[in-house]
Amino acid sequence: MAERTTTCIYFIGTAGAGKSTLAGAYKEWVFNRGLDCILVNLDPGAESLPYTPDVDVRDWVNLKDVMRSEGLGPNGAQIAASDMLALNAKKIRDAIEGFKTDYVLVDTPGQIELFVFRPSGKYLTEFLYPESSLVAFLLDPFLAKTPGGFVSNLLLASSVQFRLNLPTSYLLTKGDMLTDEELEKIRTWSQEPDALRDAFMSEEEGIYREMSVDLLRVIDGLGNLPSLQVTSAINLSGLEDLYAHVQQLVAGGEDAMSD
């Protein structure tokens, strides 16, 4: 039997989008279906997590230790700690490879810029599993409820995809906290550019509206209007859709659970 490829999923999104909670829920969902799966915490400043990490970057880089040793405040220490991730990349990879697992779920720092826009994040994604990695980009549902917020999420997702150059799955999180009407509206915006444009045009005329429409044209031109998976870490909805999309992106649709 051919050796099974390890799939690495980076959970990325703005602070409060639900990265840690969804990553923990997805690990449970995958594990309960007979697949090996580990969770990696890459946030050196995490004070508490809703799961027990199998690999924890805080074993090598800890924000409080960096503050003490370098004499830095919280912001400076976060930047320094983020850059230290690259220096510990081999230790992180060795710890991961010790599990010989099917799936590696990576919970990235709460501040998205510390992972995506610092050199260490790009380096790590190229160092770990570059041929079988993808991004699960989490859209904050409360921001996505407005046309402007939705487009802002898409712009950030486009920047992440451009920066990391990885296949991307778009997840609307906390679906259980939105009404059916709100969910349907967001789904429609993700499928029909004209509907999103009409939503902008119904707002008060002004430079904000015109700029938003221009940004929508850019996103549409990039082909980056995404297919959304609506997920919930509470009722586990949408996790099967995430699994199917992950398999499609990295394994040509092959079902890893079929054997």
Write the pLDDT tens digit of every residue in 35-44. 999 999 999 9
Q: pLDDT tens for residues 47-79?
A: 889 999 999 999 999 999 999 998 999 889 999
Q: pLDDT tens for residues 204-242?
A: 666 666 666 777 776 666 565 567 899 999 999 999 999
Q: What is the rounded distance in angstroms from the CA atom of residue 39 to the CA atom of residue 51?
A: 9
Closest CA to 176 of 242, 238, 228, 246: 238
Percent helix, strand, coil in the chain, to 5, is: 50, 15, 35
pLDDT of amino acid 5: 78
Q: What is the rounded distance in angstroms from the CA atom of residue 9 to the CA atom of residue 13?
A: 13
pLDDT of amino acid 22: 96
Contact by Cβ (8 Å): 112, 156: yes
The three-class DSSP label of residue 179 is coil
At 64, list the tokens: 């409080």
Which CATH architecture describes the domain 7-175+227-251? 3-Layer(aba) Sandwich (3.40)
Q: What is the mean pLDDT of the chain?
A: 87
Cβ atoms within 10 Å of 176's Cβ, excluding its own: 16
Which residue type sits at 108? T
Cβ atoms within 10 Å of 12's Cβ, excluding its own: 26
Q: What is the rounded distance in angstroms from the CA atom of residue 233 to the CA atom of residue 20?
A: 10
Of all helices (H) and strands (E), which one includes residue 137? strand 133-139
pLDDT of amino acid 2: 44
Across the range 144-169, mean pLDDT stands at: 88
pLDDT at 3 over 60: no
The three-class DSSP label of residue 66 is helix
pLDDT at 109 over 70: yes
At 58, list the tokens: 């805080």
CA 188 to chain centre: 22
> Residue 211 contacts by C-beta under 8 Å, 6 or more apart in sequence?
none
Q: What is the rounded distance in angstroms from the CA atom of residue 22 to the CA atom of residue 257?
A: 21
CA quadruple 150, 151, 155, 161: dihedral, nearest 10: 50
For the chain, domain boundaries? 7-175+227-251
Q: Which of 143-147, 195-199, 218-222 has the highest mean pLDDT?
A: 143-147
Contact by Cβ (8 Å): 166, 115: no
CA quadruple 237, 54, 94, 115: dihedral, nearest 10: 60
